[in-house]
């Protein structure tokens, strides 16, 4: 099977990337169970975003750095805080229903570490609501194929083309993945121009599990979304 974008994982990261990337080519999502069986679906609480005055980006950044106690990447904090409102708008456009007050404003909570009310939520099931909206949007999109009960077992690189590679080999590239179809118990080959590992915390273990060296960029998904955003904005 061939696709433009292969997304491994069906949580908020994988599905939101798929919806963005579908404007640039066909997307195939593989997920080991049902599409909504992911950590996102079980998240409660809410999402932080500067929404109304007197809150500001500067306050949100400061609160985050204080709570991070020196462990934060300040550039990453600034990027996430300043991009939050537009990404919240994306979630709303995809159908997420955040709670509102009787006058139509978002009902913002204030939680530990925050000096302002900035927590958007859907009752106490925010993750489930976001996942519901994303799943429904993905299922409606004609440019996205979803393969449930498919378990990714290896990433394809030059190693699988017969080349000798080591962890010091330069120019390694990913061409897709070997995926186990849990219904047929057969291994299927998924070829892709771009492969995104959006499997939550387990993504950091992809590198040692592979039989060859792969450059692991912890910010790859964020960089990809930023690139797609800039391209879309220029097109508008």
62 and 100 fall within a common domain: yes
Please indicate, yes or no, whether residues 165 and 190 belong to a single structural domain of this protein.
yes
Residues 164-184: tens digit of each pLDDT: 877 677 777 889 999 999 999
Q: Indicate if 50 and 35 belong to the same structural domain.
A: no
Q: In percent, how much of the chain has pLDDT > 90?
A: 73
User: What DSSP designation does 229 have?
Assistant: H
Write the CB contacts of 10 (distance below 8 Å, at least 6 apart in sequence): 29, 31, 35, 36, 37, 38, 135, 146
Computed over every residue of the chain, the mean pLDDT equals: 88
How many domains does the structure of the chain reveal?
2
Q: In this structure, is residue 114 part of a structural domain?
A: yes
Backbone angles phi, psi at 48, to 5 degrees: -85, 135
Torsion (CA) 34, 39, 45, 47 in degrees, nearest 10: -90
Q: Which two tokens stand for residue 81?
A: 């805080």
Give strand pairing partners of 120: 47
Whether residue 226 is found in the same domain as residue 174: yes
For residues 182 and 116, membership in a common domain is answered with: no
Predicted local distance difference test score (pLDDT) of residue 221: 57
Q: What is the mean pLDDT of residues 121-141?
A: 97
- Band the pLDDT of 208: cuts 50, 70, 90: low
* 132, part of any domain: no
pTM over 0.85: no
- When pLDDT is averaged across residues 63-79 and rounded to a whole number, the result is 94
Average of per-residue pLDDT across 82-107: 97
Residues 90 and 20 in one domain: no
Q: How far apart are CA 207 and CA 155, in angstroms?
A: 10
Q: Is residue 130 part of a domain?
A: no
Question: 183 and 225 in one domain?
Answer: yes
d(CA 154, CA 177): 6
How far apart are the two ends of the chain, measured CA to CA in Å? Answer: 33
Q: Are residues 33 and 73 in the same domain?
A: no
Q: Is 59 inside a domain boundary?
A: yes
Using the 3D structure, point to which of 124, 158, 185 is the last residue of a domain. 124
Higher pLDDT, 172 or 60: 60
Pairwise CA distance, residues 109 & 47, whole Å:
10
Asked if 180 and 206 touch (Cβ cutoff 8 Å), the reply is no
One domain for residues 169 and 231: yes
Q: Could you list the beta-strand ranges (E) of 14-129.
A: 27-31, 47-48, 119-120
Q: Which two tokens stand for residue 72?
A: 């934060």
Q: Does residue 231 lie in a domain region?
A: yes
220 shares a domain with 154: yes
Range of the domain at 103: 45-124
Q: Please report which confidence band the pLDDT of residue 211 belongs to, taking 50, 70 and 90 as the band edges.
A: very low
* Domain identity same for 151 and 228: yes
Is residue 135 in a domain?
no
């Amino acid at each position: 099977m061939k696709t433009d974008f292969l997304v491994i994982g069906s949580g908020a990261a994988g599905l939101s990337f798929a919806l963005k990337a579908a404007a640039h080519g066909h997307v195939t999502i593989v997920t080991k169970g049902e599409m909504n069986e992911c950590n996102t679906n079980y998240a409660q609480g809410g999402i932080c975003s500067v929404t109304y005055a007197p809150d500001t980006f500067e306050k949100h950044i400061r609160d985050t750095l204080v709570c991070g106690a020196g462990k934060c990447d300040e550039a990453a904090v600034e990027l996430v805080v300043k991009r939050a409102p537009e990404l919240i708008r994306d979630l709303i456009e995809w159908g997420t229903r955040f709670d509102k007050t009787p006058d139509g404003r978002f009902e913002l909570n204030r939680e530990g570490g925050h000096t302002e009310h900035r927590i958007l939520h859907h009752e106490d099931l925010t993750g489930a609501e976001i996942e519901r909206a994303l799943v429904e949007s993905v299922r409606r999109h004609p440019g996205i194929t979803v393969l449930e009960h498919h378990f990714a077992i290896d990433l394809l690189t030059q190693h699988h083309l017969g080349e000798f590679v080591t962890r010091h080999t330069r120019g390694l590239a990913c061409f897709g993945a070997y995926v186990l179809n849990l219904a047929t118990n057969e291994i299927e080959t998924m070829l892709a121009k771009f492969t995104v590992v959006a499997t939550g915390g387990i993504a950091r273990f992809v590198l040692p599990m592979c039989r060859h060296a792969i450059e692991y960029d912890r910010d790859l998904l964020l960089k990809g979304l930023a690139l797609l955003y800039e391209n879309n904005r220029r097109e508008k």
